[in-house]
């Protein structure tokens, strides 16, 4: 990065000073994901677009992966960890396992687990293909039962966390609007996300207004398709010299909309809010005439 960045002055960032700042964190890292996180934090300091780190271990090295049981682990004053949030459709979300939020984790793979232990090391350096937990409804071995779970990879657990995150925010918007506003999240500017967007849009068709969340969307290349749907007309098209033209009516939403972005919305995701504001015709928008103001300004 220091010797190949296009700007020799690194956008004003002191690269040697940044190394001195982030290097001490290496002693506390557990796995490759954490290493990449620290590296990305450092690379982000020059504030340049489309920069980062990716890739696995060098050829010949055995990859080390952190596996996840499908629930959060939280520390308790008893000295034991407890089962935190259970993720829907995850490996621990099975009735026959009899795991509930608030249960105590007494041991993992026949080794006692206390809050003084780093449970991430157990999840990363596990010997077998399954986790063997000793679970209890009290902080003691007496009366505990064995639970065997087939863990999932970090990527799969990320999907479970994402689904829960979206569900929580959908409920938040519904509660705040008394069920009148719909919510959807666009995870990436890619074909699977476009298909999910179309399904979510259909599910929210009867809502009075729509919150479109693009936070943490890293980009892609479907802005034209999204804008065509949201604008209620084909946003961009090619017409041959001797061909006629017929404007199609794509699936769309005619009520007021607001698009949410944050500092983690990148690349193609950044194109949508501004272009939508200019592309959507004023006619067809609805006004809230109930004393709460014009929702078209959201």
Q: Which two three-digit tokens encode residue 230?
A: 């949201």
Same domain, 182 and 284: yes
pLDDT the model gives residue 56? 65
Give the range of the structural domain holding residue 44, as residue numbers without chain letter.
1-61
Q: Which of 33-42, 89-98, 264-273, 279-288 has the lowest mean pLDDT?
A: 279-288
Q: 275 and 211 in one domain?
A: yes
Mark whether 50 and 9 lie in a shared domain: yes
249 shares a domain with 184 = yes
In this structure, are 143 and 198 located in the same domain?
Answer: no
CB 230 within 8 A of CB 194: no
**H helical segments located in 105-255:** 119-124, 154-176, 191-203, 223-231
Same domain, 274 and 201: yes
**Residue 66 forms part of a structural domain:** no
What is the pTM (predicted TM-score) of this model? 0.71
Residue 179 has pLDDT above 90, yes or no: yes
What band does 49 get if pLDDT is binned at 50, 70 and 90? confident
- Is the sign of the CA dihedral 155, 67, 88, 261 positive or negative? negative
Q: Please compute the mean of the pLDDT values over residues 180-190 and round it to a whole number.
A: 95
- Report if residue 165 sits inside a domain: no
- Residue 164 maps to a domain: no
Closest residue by Cα to residue 295 from 254, 240, 246: 254
Any residues with CB less than 8 A from the CB of 180 and at least 6 apart, and which? 207, 208, 209
Q: What is the pLDDT of residues 79-90, one digit of tens each?
A: 999 999 999 999
Same domain, 205 and 291: yes
- Does residue 126 belong to any structural domain of this protein? yes
Lowest mean pLDDT of 139-143, 157-161, 255-259, name the range. Answer: 255-259
CATH assignment of the domain containing 129: 2.30.42.10
In a shared domain, residues 186 and 103: no
**Looking at the domain assignment, is residue 127 inside a domain?**
yes
Contact 243, 196 (CB under 8 A): no
168 assigned to some structural domain: no
The verdict on residue 223 lying in a domain is yes
Residue 191 has pLDDT above 90, yes or no: yes
Same-domain check for residues 47 and 135: no
How far is Cα 275 from Cα 14, in angstroms, rounded to an integer? 36
Task: Indicate if the pLDDT at residue 91 is higher than 50.
Answer: yes
Per the structure block, which two tokens stand in for 264?
A: 């983690």
Boundary (domain end) residue, out of 36, 61, 86: 61
The DSSP letter of residue 40 is H
Q: What is the pLDDT of residue 80?
A: 97
Q: What is the pLDDT of residue 297?
A: 34
Per the structure, the count of domains in the chain is 3
Q: How far apart are CA 80 and CA 104, in angstroms?
A: 7
Residue 171 lies in a domain: no
Indicate if 51 and 79 belong to the same structural domain: no
Which residue among 10, 37, 61 closes a domain?
61
Tell me the pLDDT tens digit for each residue of 192-209.
999 999 999 999 989 999
Q: Answer yes or no: is pLDDT of 7 > 90.
A: no
- Residue of higher predicted confidence among 59 and 291: 59
Closest CA to 253 of 221, 228, 277: 228
Judge if 54 and 3 occupy the same domain. Answer: yes
293 and 181 together in one domain:
yes
**Mean pLDDT (whole number) for 138-156:** 94
């Amino acid at each position: 990065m220091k010797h190949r960045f296009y700007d020799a002055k690194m956008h004003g960032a002191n690269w040697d000073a940044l190394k001195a700042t982030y290097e001490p964190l290496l002693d506390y890292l557990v796995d490759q994901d954490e290493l990449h996180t620290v590296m990305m934090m450092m690379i982000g300091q020059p504030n340049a677009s489309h920069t980062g780190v990716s890739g696995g271990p060098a050829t010949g090295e055995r990859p080390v992966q952190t596996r996840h049981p499908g629930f959060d682990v939280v520390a308790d004053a008893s000295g034991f960890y407890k089962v935190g949030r259970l993720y829907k459709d995850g490996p621990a979300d099975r009735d026959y396992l009899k795991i509930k939020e608030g249960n105590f984790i007494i041991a993992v793979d026949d080794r006692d687990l206390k809050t003084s232990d780093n449970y991430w090391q157990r999840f990363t350096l596990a010997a077998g293909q399954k986790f063997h937990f000793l679970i209890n409804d009290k902080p003691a071995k007496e009366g505990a039962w064995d639970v065997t779970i087939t863990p999932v990879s970090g990527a799969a657990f990320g999907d479970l966390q994402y689904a829960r995150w979206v569900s929580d925010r959908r409920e938040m918007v519904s509660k705040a609007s008394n069920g009148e506003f719909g919510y959807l999240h666009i995870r990436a500017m890619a074909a699977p996300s476009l298909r999910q967007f179309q399904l979510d849009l259909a599910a929210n068709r009867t809502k009075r207004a729509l919150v479109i969340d693009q936070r943490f969307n890293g980009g892609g290349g479907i802005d034209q398709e999204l804008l065509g749907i949201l604008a209620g007309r084909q946003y961009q098209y090619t017409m041959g010299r001797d061909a006629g033209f017929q404007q199609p009516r794509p699936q769309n939403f005619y009520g007021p909309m607001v698009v949410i972005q944050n500092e983690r919305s990148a690349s193609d995701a950044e194109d949508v809010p501004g272009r939508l504001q200019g592309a959507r015709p004023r006619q067809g928008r609805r006004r809230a005439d109930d004393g709460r103001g014009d929702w078209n300004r959201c």
